[in-house]
Structure 1
């Protein structure tokens, strides 16, 4: 592991000292991000007539902190990943680098009109929340040729 050594003239050194080494805080302030900006990565794929939505949510207590709903034609997944700073630290251990983001999240996906809440099921395994939306693909109607009639046939009721 390579360590970056800063010179004493590093302009961030004083700021880091002021924030007690909270580099994440500096980045959040500089780029406008904040706790609560956690957006789990999603993968959406077809599985026959179904669609499978997978969200990466490692470290999330899905039993208590995740909700999967169907509301107004949308699949709505909300939840929260607790901050790692709330976890107990042993002895003098301090976090040197934190790349995980904590906070609330909300993902929404538009559903076809014919999908009902009964068509949706969810499970969780090894950090991945999977939501299966059944029967997304409606059966297609076979095309039928429509005969074009002469003008006036429709008004007179002729077949």
Structure 2
């Protein structure tokens, strides 16, 4: 790694945070970890890293706030957003706020490094095993359910779906 290799890693899943942090350190990054938006913002006040890997949904807010603060503090910083809830609207928002890429969890260290170091004109390779249409639908339903504070009736109304149908979907395991 040449030049500034400082990296801020923000994720509220502690085992994932520790595993990815170690893997990135082994690949030459100087990693600072944070488990919340608040911790991430405090880390940015101490120093502005060259790279950041930030989870989208954190216990105390939205990881995009950390991405935006990093971009304001250091315009040349390269940030990647990780999320378990991938959708086009949040991907567009992440890029508008300064992220250079958007990866679905669980992403491994090699995927993260590739995204962080890819040149601006280089296109990302298509995924080897993309989510099935059933899985994308299930993820979307889960996301809306969470946004509605796990209120089945409200979720069903917003999805224009019968409440009992939604309950059956929520009771099943996630499709592959």
- Of structures 1 and 2, the one with the larger relative CO (CA 8 A, separation 6+) is 1
Q: Which has the higher helix share?
A: 2
TM-score by length of 1: 0.23
TM-score by length of 2: 0.21
Computing the radius of gyration from Cα coordinates, the structure with the larger value is 1
Q: Which has the higher strand share?
A: 1
